[in-house]
Structure 1
Amino acid sequence: MRKAVMVSLLSFSAAAHTSDISTYIVNGSDANVGDFPSFASLFYEDDRQYSTRSFCGATIINDYYVLTAAHCVAADSSQLPHITVAASLQNENNYAPLTYPRVIEYYIPNGFENERDILWPDDIAILKLDRSIGRGDLYSSLNFSKDRGFTVADRFIAVGHGKNDYLEVPAANSPNLQEVELTYIDNATCIAALGTNISDKQICFDGADDGGDKDSICSGDSGGPVYYQENGTGPRIQVGVASFGFERCGDRTKAVTSVFTDVYDYKSWIDNVITGNVSPTYYIQVQNGQRVLVDPTTVTQTSSGSSGSSGSSGSSGGSASIISLLGLLFISLMRHCSRVHMSCSSNYLRSQN
């Protein structure tokens, strides 16, 4: 996440081209993780390697459930047996393998489609953990009371460990937690900029022009939160889950720089998941020493590595294509990243598009 800028703002009367839209975000300054107690990060960790950078953000609902974007976990099922969740990491260099809860159940709304052309509808997911994450009940930090009606005096802050600059090659996420202030854009303006696939279950944002690119979010921030403070003060309440932005983070030619899934519209679904009234989309079993992904609708199982967790310093990828060939390339490249100590997460977020 970092600061981006804009010189002239284009407001589109027709839909924006989707070829330069991606499921990620960025831009900001150093944040104090203590100011955002619900923030968490998703990592990859198996018995051969672990990621030294998160591939997506998340937020804690309670000790056993976390909220993130569906596209963060829907692209490559072979990675799902090995996802861990780290709470309150100020600096990702402090990631300690073998210490974090693993995801054992994945919940994704039936309406979610991992498609850029229709702007990722219902891009939200809940992950159940195998043990307590130790942060208590943070359900009250989710916005279930205010259905829009925001004013210019309200403050919006996005948080994440994503890229600091869209030009970084290879993509390097910020190890230190970043925050950025965003500007709320009403849905009518957002539809004019991005087209009619924008729904009232999505919240759009722009950012201030600081002289280069607009303040924005970027690659690696997906799944993370945007918090709302009424009149710029008071408690930080999460109103959105980071879904997508443009390939050039903070593009100064765009009227909208980032789009979030609106938490308010999913209260009933979230409540039903955490009270056990919804069946998981996928769940993990340990069979013969291996963590196995189970799809209840097909009763097919995908084995991916052992249940043990250790590794050498390295970096895993983020999202990858659901096409099996790209899945294999993802695994191969991720092992390569582990050997050469480079971050690949943003590349794979791009490759799904």
Structure 2
Amino acid sequence: MNRPGLILLLVASISGCESTPLSRSVGAPIVDGERETGERAVVLIQAVIGACTGTLITDRVVLTAKHCVQQQSAMSPAPPSFFSVGVGDRAGATTNHRVQQVVTTPGRFFIGDGTDIALLILREPVEGVEPITVRREVPTDLVGSTVTAIGFGTTREREVGIKYRTTATIENVTATVLEARDTICQGDSGGPIILEGDGTRPRQIVGVASYGLAANQGDCPAMLDAWNRVDTYLGLIDAAIVRSGACVATGEELCNSIDDDCDGETDEGCLALGEACERDDQCAFGRGAPRRRASERAVRRRGGDAPMHAPVRSALARRELQRDRAALRRRCDRGRWLLLRHERGLRGPLRPGVGGLGLAG
């Protein structure tokens, strides 16, 4: 994706050598790869501000890069009407879908700062396409691993808008990006690197194509490729999934009033409403018999096991009840909490408000 306003020039001073200019291109095709006619979850994002690559992570949510949806000098992304998501293997031959909402990290950004993540929520589900999920674990264990890169970017033969794939080796993982070499070019921005499944886990996205370093502006492939980490923005990604109406599978089912495994049932195997909890993991929010524990602590503070007078028990119960109610007001279900976290990025920090959580700003 060619966007001259987002080209940053770096100069590397090498001792005893002439300074060599480097170009950091934010329009980071898959170079020297093979033609990809399948992999329908990897889509072409067409916009007024350029073309990029993205990936369907649910039937309505596309993961891409922030610089694909927002100019660097802008405080917010372009409106949804600016974008179209095409399912297919080449520009001009895709089935296009309209965008309902653009979700990204708040404020301005600088390429390389680790905030190059965005999501497009589509108006309608994409049918007949198997989404690719994101990996939730920290990727520091992936150094030396082989991953698959897919994109619609410019090839060495200067083809543009045709889907290619290749493999790369993760050489380094920083706090913000995963690094490899000789892979991406303009138009691959927002495309995935995929850790293929091994029989014990599914294939998963571990990064989003962000930028490349090249000796000269426009050179392909880049000498150093960088994919923005996805594990650092799981809250943002989950919030977009919840907004689309989908479920976020976070693991095995827990007794927390949430459908953790996305099987359509909530808290299966847990105690029914009103039954007494014997262990923390049997009750929603893990609140097993809090008043009894508080009373026992109060007895110990008084110096023994002597029975308390009724007024003392009543006061302790009232205080414990007040704390319980305040805690429950602050503990929302996962969907509402994720949405509040997203709103924090748009409207200001979360702060305790009257009756629970409030939004500042």
1:277-326 CA deviation, whole Å, 9 max, x = no partner? 437999xxxxxxxxxxxxx86xxxxxxxxxxxxxxxxxxxxxxxxxxxxx
Q: CA deviation at 1:113?
A: 3.7
Asked whether the 8 Å contact 2:154–2:161 carries over to 1, the reply is: no
Match of 2:315 in 1: none
Asked whether the 8 Å contact 2:61–2:120 carries over to 1, the reply is: yes
Asked whether the 8 Å contact 1:225–1:239 carries over to 2, the reply is: yes
Asked whether the 8 Å contact 1:242–1:260 carries over to 2, the reply is: yes
Match of 2:141 in 1: 149
- Mapped to 1, the partners of 2:13 and 2:203 lie a distance apart of 30
Task: Give yes or no for the alignment of 1:31 onto 2:35.
Answer: yes
- Mapped to 2, the partners of 1:91 and 1:101 lie a distance apart of 15
Match of 2:225 in 1: 258
Asked whether the 8 Å contact 2:114–2:229 carries over to 1, the reply is: no
Amino acid at match of 2:149: A
- Mapped to 2, the partners of 1:243 and 1:18 lie a distance apart of 20
Match of 1:236 among 197, 203, 211: 203
Match of 2:105 in 1: 109
Match of 1:319 in 2: none
Match of 2:171 in 1: 185
Whose RCO is larger (CA < 8 A, sep 6+)?
A: 1
- Mapped to 2, the partners of 1:234 and 1:12 lie a distance apart of 44
Q: Secondary structure at the match of 1:272?
A: helix
Closer, same or farther in 2 for the Cα pair 1:17/1:132, shift >3 Å? farther
Amino acid at match of 1:138: P
TM-score of the aligned structures, taking structure 2 as reference length: 0.54
1:71-107 CA deviation, whole Å, 9 max, x = no partner? 10011766752311112x1222413xxx522112111
Larger Rg: 2
Task: Give yes or no for the alignment of 1:86 onto 2:86.
Answer: yes
- Mapped to 2, the partners of 1:81 and 1:58 lie a distance apart of 17
Could you list the runs of 4 or more consecutive aligned residues of structure 1 that deviate by over 4 angstroms after TM superposition? 10-13, 16-19, 76-80, 230-235, 279-282
Match of 2:339 in 1: 278
1:91-144 CA deviation, whole Å, 9 max, x = no partner? 22413xxx522112111112x64324xx243100011111112246635x3212
Match of 2:64 among 46, 65, 68: 68
Unaligned runs of 5+ in 2: 2-11, 244-337, 348-361
TM-score of the aligned structures, taking structure 1 as reference length: 0.55
Task: Give yes or no for the alignment of 1:269 onto 2:269.
Answer: no
Match of 2:44 in 1: 41
Closer, same or farther in 2 for the Cα pair 1:259/1:268, shift >3 Å? same
Amino acid at match of 1:28: D
Closer, same or farther in 2 for the Cα pair 1:58/1:18, shift >3 Å? farther
Closer, same or farther in 2 for the Cα pair 1:229/1:62, shift >3 Å? closer
- Mapped to 2, the partners of 1:160 and 1:127 lie a distance apart of 17
Aligned length: 231
Unaligned runs of 5+ in 1: 2-9, 46-50, 188-198, 207-214, 283-295, 298-353
Q: CA deviation at 1:151?
A: 5.1
